[in-house]
Amino acid sequence: MKDELFTMATEIPGLSPEARARWQHEMERTLLRMKHFAEMVMNPQEPVVGPTPRQEIYRKNKSRLYRYASTRTHRTPLLFVPNLGISRPYIFDLMAHGSFVEHMTQQGFDFYLVDWGVFGEEDNGLTVEDAVTKILPRLAQKALESSGASEMSVLGYCMGAPLSACFVATHPEFPAKNYINMAGPIDFAHVGLFGLWLDPRFFDVDKYVDTLGSVPPDMIKAGFKLLKPTMDLSAGLNLWWNLWNPEYVSGFNALNKWANEYVAFPGEFFRQWVREFYQENRLIRGELVMGGTKVNLARITCPVLAVGAREDNIAPPGCVKPLIEAVGSTDREYVEMPGGHISLIAGRGASVHCWPTVASWLAARS
Amino acid sequence: MADTGGQQLFDLWKKQVEDGTQQWLKMMGTPQAQTLDPQAFWRPFMDHCMAGWAKVMTQGTASPDLMGQWKQFLDQWIAAWSKVLEQAMGTEAFAKVIGTQLEGFLNAASPAKKAAEQHIEATLGGLGIPSRSQVTGIARQIVQLEEKLEGVEDRLEAVLKRLNDLAAALRQEPR
């Protein structure tokens, strides 16, 4: 078939040799595209995700603490706190040679990952306060004990950043050596479209939680799809364009698996998250209370790095950067990277921009 | 990648789309007394798109990298639409619409959900099978039990630590 198509191309009158070569090249790619498309449809393979070896250190209800061991060239281990709900944390270790976890362990950091888990109906009473004052302190303490280190760096990504910032600010007994906020909203006055849609004039969070009990995965999916309606179209087009490349296809399959695996929010968690963070912006105002203690970000005095992503529409740079002014640290830095909320931490761009920046910043302070 | 000529055409296309977007948004901002005519609503945007695309087609291009240019065109097209949608969705009017839609859904879902739950509960009860709420209740109790165990574990660890400290102190004391 390939030969036939190529013969057809050579028969087109007036076609230059350059155009003929390009035509042949394009035909070859198109045939590969068709082959890979047929494989994807007829014989779909479950992508292998989370390839870096890990050890479960502790479990509390649905939450798990995992350790990814390294050669440990740096004394201070790293505790990674991702978002609770929304998505699964294997995006940070999506595939070999494309994993933030792998990069950090190769750089010599012992990496502790908090996996909040998938909460069920029985957890609908769980609040943000519970996550910050009950789950996180316990997992952080277990990580510290497991590492044998005297101090630990904390990295919060997305929603994990405000949660871990609240934890560090209200738990002075925890020896936080460094703190990193990666694409985590702090000042919710600049949080973009979600901030507008969740405005109390348009969104009644009480009615929502009282009716549904929790936020089902399909609702979360709908919200995120609405945030970028052309995303699927764009992803589909890029897939078609790169379908000839088996590496791209396997990366797409892994990312696609993750992107379609949404995780529910416990009802009371969502209520507190929306009301106190999105609607009342209590964190940056210093009005948030966790476990009877006012969350004062100025009590974070260790070195702080905040990383924003230029095209992030979930946590735009404007809501990430204010952490720098709010903390009490003298060693504080804000950097802005190209990319969006996910591409900041996963993918080729992240391996070029974000991972080395974070690793070198930490290495100098660990 | 496209050559400079192709790039110029795409820049032209992009400008056309942006002009169209501005007109479209202007229209959105103007109060509309009568019923919205979908054709009239989209025409300013689509006319500009079509004019831009027609120009690209008629000016033609000598580059044989047609597929690359086509891909680039589609990328630009999606980016332009994304921008348009983002601007439209960033308005209070849109937030109000989705808020109202959601409220409508909740108003309808609430009694239906309640009735369905009651019905299922009664049916399962009649069959002697534990209902969802009963299973959830047990799971909740297990979670609470786990928390209590953790509390006990913490206290035990604290006691052990104190005992170890005491033992160490006694060992150091001269007899």
What is the DSSP track for A45-108?
PPPP---S--EEEEEETTEEEEEE-----SSS-EEEE--SSEE-GGGGG-STTS-HHHHHHHTT
Query: How do the domains of chain A map onto residue ranges?
Result: 2-42, 55-363
Residue A363 C-alpha, separation from nearest chain B C-alpha, in angstroms: 34
Residues B30-42 have a mean pLDDT of 51
Q: Under an 8 A CB cutoff, do B99 and A241 touch?
A: no
Q: Do A175 and A151 touch, CB atoms closer than 8 A?
A: yes
Instruction: Tokens 């155009």: give the residue.
Output: A19
Measured distance CA(A110)–CA(A76) in Å, rounded: 8
For each of chain A's 366 residues, which pLDDT tens digit applies? Answer: 555 555 555 565 666 777 778 778 888 888 999 999 998 888 888 888 999 999 999 999 999 999 999 988 999 999 999 999 899 999 999 988 889 999 999 999 999 999 999 999 999 999 999 999 999 999 999 999 999 999 999 999 999 999 999 999 999 999 999 999 999 999 999 998 999 999 999 999 999 999 999 999 999 999 999 998 898 999 999 999 999 999 899 889 999 999 889 999 999 999 999 999 999 999 999 999 999 999 999 999 999 999 999 999 999 999 999 999 999 999 999 999 999 999 999 888 899 999 999 999 999 998
Q: Under an 8 A CB cutoff, do B67 and A26 touch?
A: yes
Residue A362 C-alpha, separation from nearest chain B C-alpha, in angstroms: 32
Size of interface A-B (CB pairs under 8 A): 79
The secondary element (H helix, E strand) that includes residue A141 is helix A136-147
Measured distance CA(A166)–CA(A160) in Å, rounded: 10
Two structure tokens written together for A29: 């790619």
Q: Under an 8 A CB cutoff, do B78 and A234 touch?
A: yes
Measured distance CA(A111)–CA(B150) in Å, rounded: 24
Minimal Cβ distance to B106: which of A125, A207, A237: A207
CA A206, A290, A334 angle in degrees (round to 5)?
A: 100
- In chain B, the largest separation of any two C-alpha atoms, in whole Å, equals 105
Measured distance CA(A352)–CA(A362) in Å, rounded: 16
DSSP-derived secondary structure letter, A120 = -
Measured between CA atoms, the residue of chain A closest to residue B74 is A237
Q: Does A201 touch chain B (CB under 8 A)?
A: yes
pLDDT tens per residue across span B108-138 = 888 888 888 888 888 888 888 888 888 999 9
With beta carbons under 8 A apart, name residues in chain B contacting A26.
Answer: 67
pLDDT tens per residue across span B48-95 = 666 655 655 555 544 556 777 888 888 888 888 888 888 889 999 999
Measured distance CA(A9)–CA(A21) in Å, rounded: 9
Instruction: Tokens 């416990």: give the residue.
Output: A266
Three-state DSSP class for B34?
coil
pLDDT for position B34: 46
Phi/psi zone of residue A118: left (φ > 0), alpha (ψ -120 to 50 degrees), beta?
beta
Q: Do A215 and A265 touch, CB atoms closer than 8 A?
A: yes
Residue B143 C-alpha, separation from nearest chain A C-alpha, in angstroms: 6
Residue A327 C-alpha, separation from nearest chain B C-alpha, in angstroms: 31
Minimal Cβ distance to A204: which of B95, B103, B132: B103
Q: Under an 8 A CB cutoff, do B82 and A228 touch?
A: yes
Displacement of CA A280 from its chain's centroid (Å) = 24
Q: Please report, as a single letter, which amino acid is at residue A235.
A: A
Q: Please report, as a single letter, which amino acid is at residue A47.
A: P
- Burial code of A253-278, b = ≥16 C-beta within 10 A, e = fewer? bbbebbbeebbbbbbbbbbbbbbbbb
Chain B stretch 56-95, residues whose beta carbon is closer than 8 A to a beta carbon of chain A: 64-65, 67, 71, 74-75, 78-79, 81-82, 85-86, 89-90, 92, 95
With beta carbons under 8 A apart, name residues in chain B contacting A125.
Answer: 140
Q: How many CB atoms lie within 10 A of CB B22?
A: 15
Cα dihedral sign, A217-A219-A220-A222 = positive
Residue A208 C-alpha, separation from nearest chain B C-alpha, in angstroms: 7
Q: Does A60 touch chain B (CB under 8 A)?
A: yes
Q: Do A265 and A86 touch, CB atoms closer than 8 A?
A: yes
Q: Under an 8 A CB cutoff, do A202 and B110 touch?
A: no
Residue B78 C-alpha, separation from nearest chain A C-alpha, in angstroms: 7
Measured between CA atoms, the residue of chain A closest to residue B149 is A60
Which residues are paired to A87 by β-bridges? Answer: A262
Between the two ends of chain A, the Cα-to-Cα distance in Å is 59
Q: Under an 8 A CB cutoff, do A229 and B143 touch?
A: no
Nearest CA to B64 out of A28, A2, A18 is that of A18
Class for the domain spanning A55-363: alpha beta
10 Å CB burial of residue A232 (0-12, 13-18, 19+) is exposed
The ipTM, to two decimals, is 0.81
Two structure tokens written together for A272: 């507190």
Q: Under an 8 A CB cutoff, do A196 and B95 touch?
A: yes
